[in-house]
């Protein structure tokens, strides 16, 4: 179904049922079986609309793989571990993680690999990239088996559907998407005053826009519950900040920002992640202090690893390698915008690079 037909379908739905919340719009535009963005095209990499950190350089996945080895060793090397990725793209990230994890064969021998992935196209790519590990696929985290959980989610939470609220003179209104003369338009719903909204954002000034991601908070709660009950650790890596800060809803098409209400199903829709609600939802699991991606990777030793690899490179390959390291770590690129939240049991050892400074000898 083309973008025009997708828009027509949304216009008919609005005519029948009224304006859509941002969450309803995102769900339709991203996951509808006919025109959903993630259902019909590869989104990641050179042929897609955006590039994630694992696509920038293999070093990113390798550092995370070493991180998991360290955490697993610090936690007593439990057996029958569930190694899980949420939204695994083409499988590149997990393949890099597992290549580094071969440093300790005991780890790769004890893991059961699980991929939580909604897109049939991405599942097929992951099955090809990770076939030797016999990955099990899940629509949601709810169907994961019990056991020690070692989980990573890179640029996963930003694509989950959000709701937006704007504070007016008379109270809070939900931002909605309606229709006017055959076009999708922004509007505001009637005044609402749920206790949770007032409790969380009651001190915001008139005109403020806040975003709430109930789906993300529910997933964080499930992750925290599993880690608290069975042990393990999670790394949530995404762009955003500690709290919700204004309107961050955006569309990306062909590596450029686009109008989210135009060309439905042909652009990626995301919003910045507010990590404080995720940390709170994950309780009683312990959240490590939020860290920038750049500092986290530096603490894990990415520069030393990059320098070692650079010794074997020359010319354009060397320049590309240097540029990739910069893109992952520099404050003006991914290093500052992307944040890392670590979760583990309350009684677990410090998480390397987050609670303490560096990967130690294993």
Q: What domains can you pick out in the chain, each with its CATH number?
A: 38-161+214-344 (3.40.50.12710)
> In terms of Cα–Cα distance, which of 275, 277, 271, 281 is closest to 22?
271
Mean pLDDT of 114-133: 93
> pLDDT by residue (tens digit) across 235-264?
999 999 999 789 999 998 887 888 999 888
Higher pLDDT, 193 or 182: 182
Burial class (CB in 10 A: 0-12, 13-18, 19+), 110: middle
> pLDDT by residue (tens digit) across 130-156?
999 999 999 999 999 999 999 999 999
CA distances from 297 to 72, 102, 200, 293, 317 (A): 18, 20, 32, 6, 22
Tell me what pLDDT residue 139 has.
95
pTM: 0.91
Tell me what pLDDT residue 40 has.
67
Q: What is the rounded average pLDDT for all residues in the chain?
A: 90
Tell me what pLDDT residue 20 has.
96
Mean pLDDT of 225-234: 98
Contact of 141 with 111, CB cutoff 8 Å: no
> pLDDT by residue (tens digit) across 33-66?
888 888 765 555 444 455 677 777 788 999 999 9
Tell me what pLDDT residue 307 has.
86
How far is residue 53's CA from residue 44's CA, in Å, rounded to a whole number? Answer: 10
Tell me what pLDDT residue 34 has.
82
């Amino acid at each position: 179904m083309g973008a025009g037909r997708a828009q027509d379908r949304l216009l008919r739905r609005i005519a029948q049922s009224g304006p859509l919340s941002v969450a309803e719009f995102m769900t339709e535009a991203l996951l509808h079986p006919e025109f959903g963005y993630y259902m019909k095209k590869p989104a990641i990499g050179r042929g897609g609309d955006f590039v994630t950190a694992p696509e920038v350089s293999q070093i990113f996945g390798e550092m995370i793989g070493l991180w998991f080895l360290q955490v697993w060793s610090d936690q007593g090397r439990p057996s029958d571990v569930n190694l899980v990725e949420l939204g695994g793209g083409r499988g590149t990230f997990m393949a890099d993680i597992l290549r580094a994890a071969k440093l300790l064969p005991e780890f790769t021998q004890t893991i059961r690999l699980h991929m939580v992935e909604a897109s049939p196209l991405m599942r097929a790519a992951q099955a090809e990239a990770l076939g030797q590990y016999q990955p099990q696929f899940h629509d949601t985290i709810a169907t994961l088996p019990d056991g020690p959980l070692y989980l990573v989610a890179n640029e996963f939470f930003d694509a989950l559907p959000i709701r937006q609220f704007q504070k007016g003179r008379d109270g809070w209104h939900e931002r909605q998407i309606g229709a006017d003369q055959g076009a999708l338009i922004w509007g505001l719903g009637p005044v609402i005053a749920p206790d949770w909204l007032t409790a969380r954002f009651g001190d915001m000034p008139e005109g403020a826009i806040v975003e709430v991601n109930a789906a993300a908070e529910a997933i964080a709660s499930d992750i925290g519950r599993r880690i608290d009950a069975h042990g393990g650790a999670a790394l949530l890596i995404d762009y955003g900040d500690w709290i919700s800060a204004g309107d961050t809803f955006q569309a990306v098409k062909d590596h450029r920002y686009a109008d989210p209400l135009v060309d439905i199903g042909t652009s990626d829709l995301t919003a910045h992640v507010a990590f404080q609600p995720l940390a709170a939802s994950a309780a009683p699991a312990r959240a490590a202090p939020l860290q920038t991606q750049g500092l986290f990777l530096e603490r894990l030793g990415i520069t030393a690893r990059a320098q070692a690899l650079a010794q074997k490179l020359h010319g354009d390959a060397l320049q590309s390698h240097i540029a990739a390291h910069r893109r992952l770590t520099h404050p003006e690129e991914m290093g500052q915008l992307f944040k890392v939240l670590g979760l583990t049991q309350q009684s677990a050892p410090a998480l390397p690079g987050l609670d303490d400074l560096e990967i130690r000898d294993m």
